Each structure stands twice: as C-alpha cells, then as structure tokens.
Amino acid sequence: MEARRYFRTRFLRFTAHCWEQPQFFLQIRFIENQKSWNLLFSGILSGLALITKLEFGFAILATTIALIFLALPGCKLKTAMLSILPALMIPFLTYATLAFNMPLSMLIKDCFWLPQTIPRELIYFNRIKTGLNDLGRTMTEMAGGTTILVLLAGWIGLISIYLARLKATSPMCRDAGSPGFIP
C-alpha cells in the first residue's frame, strides 16, 4: 500500500510537470504572436494540471492570471475567457462527474481538499522534504541563498555599467557624432 501511494505521488508530480512546461511555452508563444489557439491550449493544459496535482495547477493558474494582467487593455477579456475558462471548466466537469458517482465525503478526503484530511505521515514526509522540520536551518539556508542571488545580481549590474561606459568612451562611439563619420 505504501509503495503504491509513493508511486502514485511520483507519477502525479511527473504528469503535472508534463502539463506545466508546454503550458508555459504556449503562453510565451501567445505573447509573441497573439494567436488565440496558443491561449486556448494553454488553458486546457492548466485545467489538466489542476486535476493532476492541485498545487502545480495553482502555480500554473498564477502565471495565467499574470498573463491576463499583462495583456493589452482591449484584450484582457478575450485573454481571460480563452485561458481561464478551460482551466476552470476541466476540473469542474471532472469533479462534478466524480461527485455524481461517489460520495462527496470520499472525494474530499481522497483529494486532500481540507487540511484536516491530510494524513499525518504525509505532513511529516513533506516537512522533511521541504525542510520545515528544522525551521531555523531552513531560514538560514534561504537567507544565504538570497544573499548569493543579490550579490550575483549586483556583480552583473556592475559589469553591465562598466561595459556600457567602456563602449561609450571608445573612439568608435566618439567619432559617431561627428559630421563626416562613415562606419
């Protein structure tokens, strides 16, 4: 039983990633070419991710909502309808079908919709995996990682400023403003 639950969790995580990557790619393609079929398929993949693994589906839905906010003012409604509607209809139809074929209490307990229905073993396992069993160490590691990212961003910024100034002071750039300059 435990091996089956472990395999099911790994398989669901894998399939959620399979929906997540193409969905994000389709959103990027929609931004590039504004073709509505990219957005429609992105919404379908969002809905499939929502029924596969709920937390991955919520992350995908967050990118979809960000895409709606970034859409042009006249296209926000169209973007919302093409992306959010299929993303919400697929889970609604799936869970409605399941609710008509089994007791609702069973559906709520098996999908872990409520915090009270999550087994203690799963909570303990997730705490170990995410590092929440030792909160001080986890926060220290996160602070160290953030510091490294900030330092890296600072170095990239400094190198960019240096290269921009170096380019601005090169003889090629100084001569570019003169009247008889031919590159």
Write the pLDDT tens digit of every residue in 16-29.
Answer: 566 667 877 888 88
Tell me which residue range forms the domain holding 81.
2-101
For the chain, the straight-line distance linking the first and the last C-alpha, in angstroms and rounded, comes to 74
15 and 59 share a domain? yes
The 10s digit of each residue's pLDDT in 108-122 is 777 777 777 777 777
Query: How large is the average pLDDT for residues 82-110?
Result: 87
Q: Is residue 123 part of a domain?
A: no
Residue in 62, 61, 64, 71 with CA at minimum distance from that of residue 34: 71
Contact 15, 52 (CB under 8 A): yes
Within this chain, do residues 38 and 86 fall inside the same structural domain, yes or no? Answer: yes
Domain count across the chain: 2
pLDDT at residue 97 tops 70: yes
Residues 96 and 9 occupy one common structural domain = yes
